[in-house]
Chains A and B, each alone.
Chain A
């Protein structure tokens, strides 16, 4: 039916002189949750930064909502409705929770053919993340790692994105928080968001995703449904487990 909301082809990226990504091709359909899996250093975070235009050099095409965004600045891509949640959190530690949310605020985008999206407000986000609601005026540097992770997601949602790039949402979180995060992702999916998440943990990926791309040394080595990956011990052993 629809063309994918995000389609990437022949994506290459460099850090300084070092090439990190090699001719990546992948896409995310409307309302789909896709996992980008691979070990540390496989290029998962770089893939997301390359899509957002945050690497110093890249080539290839990135089509988001039928527009080629590969020449746009990160803020322009974000304004088209592609939200980025960095893995290393990067919240503004000198700002309070509410101020962080305000920094991420962007107007609701009109979508001609898609489902009507409700505007995110701090109140609505506090229902999704009750922990944050308990500390609206706390400064970022006084929050726990899990709280910071939630704030990063909430801050990006304030931009009312249509799709999310979610870098390692479960990393370094306590098990109970990880489950909350999985619930949150499923809830966001239920509200119509398309999501690309990077993940090392197969269990977490199984909870939330529909399809998987497996990355190794900056190249896509395998792709298929999450059920296929869960059944394929060989692929798991070769590319995922330590």
Chain B
């Protein structure tokens, strides 16, 4: 029993940092409707700043002063980010905003790598609080007690700020109707900057306070933002109290898992302390099903702005496109002839084709489906592991193993999709991200089956596909079929229903379309095709590991879709081609590929919100006169 109570205290201590990030994220979202994916990076920077200041100044002043200074520095940086970047993207669709801040996260990570190096940096003990107290028969660091107290104190302070100050009233008013607030004479731009600085301050403080608790590490940004997403989704976007309750809930569930430890039920041995990652996402999924807007959230009012571009209708391929597609297919078919001169061409070609299948399946639900999945890596991973395990454990031949891939992904997509189609917008994006993290952590932590972080190795295609050219042609055949089938589906009644559900769920429902069922079906189909890409990937690389199915894979897919243009059916093909060529040829050459990728993402969002295909279409069509 004491062990449980002790772990509960531990949980409260780690909840405070999580609460700060979640509260900052929530405040910013409430006012600006931007989900700042770089909020984990601000947390990470807070910790690095505090570490540096404490190293230079030393002593109690260096430690405690360093924490405050670091948080203030992060606040300043946040204001700078708002003014220089976010102001330019308030009018673009939410998906682009999420992606742009993701790009920012990548850039910040590489900047931190350049400034502080790849090694973890351990901070000093807290001067004055370096001892322990004995409680429940164990030694608890005094600093943890301090953190337990700081969380609720900040909660109260934030509440007072929001309830009692004019700044707080304006924040609450802007959360509801920022345009009206502007018409009343309030300078929104200034308010947004101030709120972003405040939210950044909280994140920086949350990070800096970990100085005596955990080392500064470059992996913190992604770990923290995933958890912060869980926190704000469980608590409800925009609710500070919700962020606090959710942070405590998550931390307690993790503490409970650790306290339970290894449990044996008959033959089965479950190590609960390895299930912490899965546990929090399971809680989130459960909460979202019961309360789709979180424990303390409420449905968002529509943002009043005419910024979102209307979706263009899709048109069946005309003769020029058919000719171009046939020519492209023939050119791809003849690629093996070049193998003698460019031995690398077939490897790149296979990579590109797999990327095309992956991106086309993602586009299927993002574009026509209107469901912005931020976790498509899940179905890629299920497919990849499904095929790999079929070979490793069941010794199935290539064909059967390749069939297992889409089936495994389909099963996952049916399960996750059932939850996902109950949500929309930003909540859907975060839920899909959470599901992908579950798949990832299962692959990572279930070592006996998945090989853990090493993954499964030595899975090469058997004869006659054991040479590059043959496997390339197999991949080409699968890719062409997959693209044509998905395209055909979109021009079938199912595709019309899917798009109707995206454009107006209410009206689609009123004419007898079961929108959720259509979306579920679309989600499942997309997962199925995506699993195929994962299966092809395993045999192309000969292995699969958790690294290949992480968040990065999901982001890759989104970048491909947006790069190509979400409103165009050839968009994902163009995007996948350009992006994977870029990846193969440029990004592999540098240690700072994250910054490069982040930079590319920011450029796309700022310059080509319509993607490459969209820009081409606008260029070739006669501009529609606004003054008819």
Q: Kindly identify, within residues 41 to 98 of chain A, every residue whose CB is under 8 Å from any CB belonging to chain B.
A: 52, 54-57, 73-75, 78-79, 84, 86, 90, 92-95
Residues on the A chain within 8 Å of B170, using CB = 103
Nearest A residue (CB) for B184: A104
Q: Is A75 a contact of B306 with CB atoms below 8 Å? A: no
Assess the B173–A75 pair: CB atoms within 8 A: no
Contact call B176/A94, Cβ cutoff below 8 A = yes
Segment at the interface with A among B20-28, B223-231, B589-597, B620-628: B620-628
Expressed in whole angstroms, the Cα–Cα distance for A237 and B166 within the complex equals 50
Is the Cβ of A94 less than 8 Å from the Cβ of B172? yes
Q: Decide: A102 and B166 in contact? CB cutoff 8 A.
A: yes
Contact between B183 and A54, CB atoms less than 8 A apart: yes
Partner of B626 from A17, A95, A106 at Cβ < 8 Å: A17
Chain B stretch 305-341: residues in CB contact (< 8 A) with chain A: 305-307, 310
Complex alpha-carbon distance, A106 and B187, angstroms:
11
Of B172, B182, B307, which one neighbours A75 at CB under 8 angstroms? B182
Q: How far is the CB of A120 from chain B (nearest CB, A)?
A: 13
Within 8 A of B (CB), among A77-131: 78-79, 84, 86, 90, 92-95, 99-100, 102-106
Partner of B169, one of A19, A54, A84, A102: A102
B185 is an interface residue with CB less than 8 A from chain A: yes
Smallest beta-carbon distance A138→chain B, Å:
15
> Which of B166, B183, B187, B626 neighbours the largest number of chain A CB atoms within 10 Å of its CB?
B183
With both chains docked as a complex, state the minimum distance between the C-beta of B270 and any C-beta of chain A, in angstroms.
Answer: 45
Question: Which one of B172, B173, B305 has the greatest number of beta carbons of chain A within 10 Å?
Answer: B173
Task: Check A169 for interface membership: any CB of B closer than 8 A.
Answer: no
What's the Cα separation between A86 and B179 when bound, in Å? 11
A107 to B585, CA, bound (A): 60
In the complex, whether A159 has a CB less than 8 A from a CB of chain B is yes
A156: Cβ under 8 A from any B Cβ: yes
Q: Is A26 an interface residue (CB 8 A)?
A: no
* Complex interface: chain B residues within 8 A of A16 (CB): 306, 310
Number of B residues near A (Cβ < 8 Å) is 26
Tell me the nearest residue of chain B to A165, going by C-beta: B183
A96, closest chain B residue (CB): B169
Instruction: State whether B177 touches A74 (Cβ < 8 A).
Output: no
Contact between chains at A103 and B173 (CB < 8 Å): yes
List of B residues within 8 angstroms of A102 by Cβ = 166, 169
A139 to B94, CA, bound (A): 30
* Chain A residues near B180 (CB-CB < 8 A): 86, 90, 92
Total cross-chain contacts (CB, 8 A): 74
List of B residues within 8 angstroms of A99 by Cβ = 169, 172-173
Q: Cα distance A163–B206 when bound, in Å?
A: 47
Q: What's the minimum C-beta distance from B266 to chain A, rounded to whole angstroms?
A: 53
Note all chain B residues with C-beta closer than 8 A to A86.
180, 183
Q: Which residue of B lies closest to A98 (CB)?
A: B169
Is A211 on the interface with B (CB-CB < 8 A)? Answer: no
* CB–CB B626/A75 < 8 A: no
* A141-161 contact mask (Cβ, 8 Å, vs B): 1 or 0: 000000000000001100100
B624 touches A17 (CB 8 A): yes
Indicate if the CB atoms of B182 and A74 lie closer than 8 Å.
Answer: yes
Interface string of A12-40 (1 = CB under 8 A from B): 10111101000000000000000000000
B609 to chain A, nearest CB (A): 16
Tell me the chain B residues, 135-185 only, with Cβ under 8 Å from chain A: 166, 169-170, 172-173, 175-177, 179-185
CB pair B172 A95 closer than 8 Å: yes
The tally of residues in A whose CB lies under 8 Å from a CB in B reads 33
Given known contacts A15-B306, A19-B628, A102-B169, A90 and B186 CB-to-CB distance under 8 angstroms: no
Contact A103 B187 (CB under 8 A): no
Complexed CA–CA distance, A106 and B310 (Å):
37
Find chain B residues with CB under 8 A from A15 CB. 306
Nearest residue (CB) in B for A88 is B180
Verify if B583 is at the interface (C-beta below 8 Å from A). no
A75 contacts across to B, CB distance below 8 A: 182-188
Rounded to whole Å, the gap between the CB of B159 and the closest CB of chain A is 14
Q: Is the CB of A92 within 8 A of B177?
A: yes
Quote the shortest CB–CB distance from A75 to chain B (angstroms).
5
Interchain CA distance A54-B181 in the complex, whole Å: 12
Nearest CB of chain A from residue B19's CB, rounded to whole Å: 22
Do A19 and B173 touch across chains, with their CB atoms under 8 A apart?
Answer: no
**Cα distance A57–B180 when bound, in Å?**
18
Q: Please, which residues of chain A bring their CB within 8 A of the CB of B166?
A: 102, 105
Query: Cβ of A106 and Cβ of B185 under 8 Å apart?
Result: yes
Distance between Cα atoms of A12 and B626 in the complex (Å):
12
**Which residues of chain A are within 8 angstroms of B182 by Cβ–Cβ distance?**
73-75, 78
Set of chain B residues within 8 Å of A92, measured between Cβ atoms? 172-173, 176-177, 180
Contact A90 B177 (CB under 8 A): yes
B175 cross-chain contacts in A, Cβ below 8 A: 94
By the criterion CB–CB under 8 Å, are A103 and B179 in contact? no
Which residues from A are CB-within-8-Å of B310? 16
The docked-state distance in angstroms from the alpha carbon of A93 to that of B173 is 9
**Nearest B residue to A155, CB-CB:** B184
Residues of A within 8 Å of B181, CB to CB, are 103
Please give me the residue from chain A that is nearest to B625 by CB atom: A17
- Choose one: B176, B183, B307, B628; the contact of A52 (CB below 8 Å): B183
The residue that B183 contacts in the complex, of A14, A57, A74, with Cβ under 8 A, is: A74
- Please name all residues of chain A whose beta carbon is closer than 8 Å to the beta carbon of B173 when the two chains form the complex: 92, 95, 99-100, 103
**CB within 8 Å of A: which B267-307 residues:** 305-307
Over the window 35-62 of chain B, the binary record of Cβ atoms lying under 8 Å from chain A Cβ atoms (1 yes, 0 no) is 0000000000000000000000000000
Residues of B within 8 A of A (CB): 166, 169-170, 172-173, 175-177, 179-188, 305-307, 310, 624, 626-628
Inter-chain pairs besides A52-B183, A104-B184, 12 sampled, C-beta below 8 Å: A14-B626, A17-B624, A56-B306, A75-B182, A75-B185, A92-B176, A95-B172, A95-B173, A99-B173, A103-B169, A106-B185, A159-B184
9 pairs of A and B residues whose beta carbons are closest in the complex: A78-B185, A56-B306, A103-B173, A92-B173, A74-B182, A90-B180, A106-B185, A104-B184, A75-B182
